[in-house]
Amino acid sequence: MTKAGPALRLDGQGRPLWLVCELTYGCPLKCPWCSNPLDLDAYQNELSTEEWKRVMRESRTLGSLQLGFTGGEPLMRRDLEDLVAEADRLGYYTNLITSTVGMSAKRLSRLKAAGLKQIQVSLQSHDAATTNALVGASVHDHKIAMIREIKAQGFPVVLNIPVVRQNIAHTGAYLEMALDLGVDYVEFANVQYYNWALVNRDELMPSLEELKASEEAINSFRQRIGKKMVIYFVIPDYFNGRPKACMNGWGSIIMTIAPDGVALPCQEARLLKGLNFPSVREHSVEWIWKESPAFRTYRGDAWMKEPCRSCSEREKDFGGCRCQAYLLTGDGANPDPACSKSPFHHLVEEAIVEAHRPQRNSRPLVMREVGVASSTQ
């Protein structure tokens, strides 16, 4: 099966090449694999328009080239067009990561005029009933209409499907729909088990047999259509025996700014207790990237424990995911349990067995909603 990790190692030469702007944690959908924090109600003080513009200027000065507007749902910000225009003026390649809820043909035209370059749309299935059930809202038809409108207005489109047990059998039908829509790229994004997805892991995790069948369907489709559409599929690290090369290394090329201004090496990092992540309201982006203890904690390999420290693959996978190590072992410096060399690998193996244990009683998905997840802990 396809191995995890990037085919090409990117070297930012000490620069945050990719700036990820999480404009808001607000979202009209209730996806049970959402990467946003479980305590959503704790983050209400969003950066203002001018604060976001300052962040973009400072990051661009540091060498950032690509900017992703995400959330939550970034379309919930009324100033999105203004922010896109400023990013374009600064010379960023801009990407909007959206569910399309809140989008219209007119607003799309405004975003295009502002300089938006690319749009990534999440779509959970070819089937309306499945999509609507998984996101907790009747939005499938709107998503399809907006994808057609996005293409009609000349944007490159990445169609993202979060792969879970509930939709993995739809792989072939989903690809046929994507081809009909004329999208440029399809990403089968196997859900990573953090935050809301971790709460729902037993219900969401596909089996290895289902993953193999999905990959076979993708390979067959690729052979049939040739270069009409680019399809990405990577087996999740729980089944790979090797950890994902998380973020191309901690604090290496990516900086995420959360809605409240907290700067993070990745979107999940604020779940790491004990690290004091700085805010752009209190520090410059340059200081945060170059000097802050949080960004330097897992940078490079001096922090690694054995067997990572002496592993010949440490420069390929960077020791794996610090957030996953913390969530599953309680220590972010421990070897990622997804790796078969890790002394904690049994935790991943046990999770796979439990998710597919025949006698296990299934339970309803815990949907993303303020105040819900904390009551399940």
Rounded to a whole number of angstroms, the distance between the first and last alpha carbons of the chain is 35
Order across the sheet with 118-122: list the strands: 230-233, 185-190, 157-163, 118-122, 93-98, 66-70, 18-22, 254-257, 263-264
Average pLDDT over residues 248-271: 95
Asked if pLDDT for residue 184 goes beyond 60, the answer is yes
The residues, ordered by sequence, that sit 6+ positions from 67 with a Cβ below 8 Å of its Cβ are 18, 19, 20, 21, 56, 87, 92, 93, 94, 95
**Six-digit token pair at 55?**
């962040």
Give the confidence band of 10 by pLDDT, cuts at 50, 70, 90.
low
Residue pair 308/314 in contact (Cβ under 8 Å)? The answer is yes
Asked if pLDDT for residue 65 goes beyond 70, the answer is yes
Please tell me the distance from the alpha carbon of residue 334 to that of residue 328, in angstroms, as a whole number. Answer: 10
Query: What pLDDT is attached to residue 373?
Result: 57
Average pLDDT, whole number, for the chain? 94
Who wins on pLDDT, 40 or 131?
A: 131
Structurally, how many domains does the chain consist of? 1
Asked if pLDDT for residue 4 goes beyond 60, the answer is no
Average pLDDT over residues 175-200: 96
Query: Does the residue 9 lie in any domain?
Result: no
Asked if pLDDT for residue 176 goes beyond 80, the answer is yes
C-alpha distances out from residue 290 to 15, 16, 275, Å: 9, 10, 16
Query: What pLDDT is attached to residue 6?
Result: 37
Average pLDDT over residues 118-147: 98
Q: Pick the closest to residue 137 from 46, 220, 30 (CA basis).
A: 30
C-alpha distances out from residue 240 to 3, 100, 133, 244, Å: 7, 32, 29, 9
Give the confidence band of 235 by pLDDT, cuts at 50, 70, 90.
confident
308 is in an annotated binding site: no
Query: What pLDDT is attached to residue 371?
Result: 77
Average pLDDT over residues 9-13: 59
CATH number, domain of 18, equals: 3.20.20.70
Q: Tell me the residue range of the domain where 51 lies.
A: 14-376
Query: Does the residue 306 lie in any domain?
Result: yes
Please tell me the distance from the alpha carbon of residue 370 to that of residue 230, in angstroms, as a whole number. Answer: 36
pTM for this one?
A: 0.94
31 is in an annotated binding site: yes
Average pLDDT over residues 216-232: 96
Query: Does the residue 329 lie in any domain?
Result: yes
Q: Mind giving me the DSSP string for 356-377?
A: T-TTPPP-------TTTGGGG-
Look at strands 263-264 and 157-163 and give their pairing: unpaired
321 is in an annotated binding site: no
Q: Pick the closest to residue 70 from 149, 152, 4, 160 (CA basis).
A: 160
Average pLDDT over residues 232-255: 91
Query: Does the residue 2 lie in any domain?
Result: no
Asked if pLDDT for residue 125 goes beyond 60, the answer is yes
Query: Does the residue 238 lie in any domain?
Result: yes
Asked if pLDDT for residue 163 goes beyond 80, the answer is yes
How many whole angstroms from its chain centre is CA 212? 22
Query: What pLDDT is attached to residue 3?
Result: 42
Asked if pLDDT for residue 2 goes beyond 90, the answer is no
Query: What pLDDT is attached to residue 13?
Result: 73
Query: Does the residue 88 lie in any domain?
Result: yes
Please tell me the distance from the alpha carbon of residue 322 to that of residue 268, in angstroms, as a whole number. Answer: 10
Query: Does the residue 65 lie in any domain?
Result: yes
> Nearest 5°: phi and psi at 339?
-80, 135
Query: Does the residue 299 lie in any domain?
Result: yes
Look at strands 263-264 and 254-257 and give their pairing: antiparallel
Query: What pLDDT is attached to residue 345?
Result: 98
Asked if pLDDT for residue 277 goes beyond 60, the answer is yes
Average pLDDT over residues 78-100: 98
